[in-house]
């Protein structure tokens, strides 16, 4: 049973590292920033709460759901003020990236003796 648990733990750790998503991150932000506004090439805008990197706030976007192809993304820093409401920076310069396509299916599967 101990050998099984050891093997399970090793496989769990290996699989965890293998599925880590790629992210776009920013440099540290002003302490008043609460969200990052992301705009994609398809025109979709989403607000994502800031992430913590140590004690700093940063913009961080998970790219695991992007489909294969070329993409353009930009970000804004958003602060919610109790009096003035939503305060948003100008957008960053466009960030260009290419998501590789999925490899072709294997073919000609057969049993070799």
Q: Please report, for the domain that includes residue 56, its CATH number.
A: 2.60.40
Inside any domain, residue 1: no
Q: Report the Cα 56 to chain-centroid distance in Å.
A: 18
pLDDT digits (tens, 9 = 90+) for 34-53: 999 999 888 889 999 999 99
List the structure tokens of 4: 């099984």
| Domain tally, the chain | 1
Q: What average pLDDT does this structure show over 73-85?
A: 94
Across the chain, what does the average pLDDT equal?
A: 85
- Cα(53)–Cα(85) distance, rounded to whole angstroms? 26
* pTM of the shown model: 0.70
Q: In the prediction, which pLDDT does 52 show?
A: 94
Inside any domain, residue 61: yes
Give the range of the structural domain holding residue 25, as residue numbers without chain letter: 21-99
Inside any domain, residue 3: no
Inside any domain, residue 15: no
Inside any domain, residue 13: no
What end-to-end distance do the CA atoms of the chain give, in Å?
34
Inside any domain, residue 93: yes
């Amino acid at each position: 049973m101990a050998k099984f648990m050891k093997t399970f733990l090793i496989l769990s750790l290996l699989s965890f590292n293998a599925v880590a998503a790629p992210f776009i991150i920013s440099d540290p932000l002003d302490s008043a920033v609460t969200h990052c506004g992301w705009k994609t090439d398809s025109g979709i805008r989403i607000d994502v709460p800031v992430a913590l990197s140590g004690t700093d706030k940063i913009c961080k976007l998970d790219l695991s759901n992007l489909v294969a192809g070329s993409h353009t993304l930009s970000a804004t820093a958003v602060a919610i003020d109790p009096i003035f409401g939503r305060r948003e920076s100008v957008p960053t310069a466009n960030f260009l990236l290419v998501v590789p396509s999925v490899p072709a299916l294997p073919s000609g599967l057969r049993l070799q003796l």
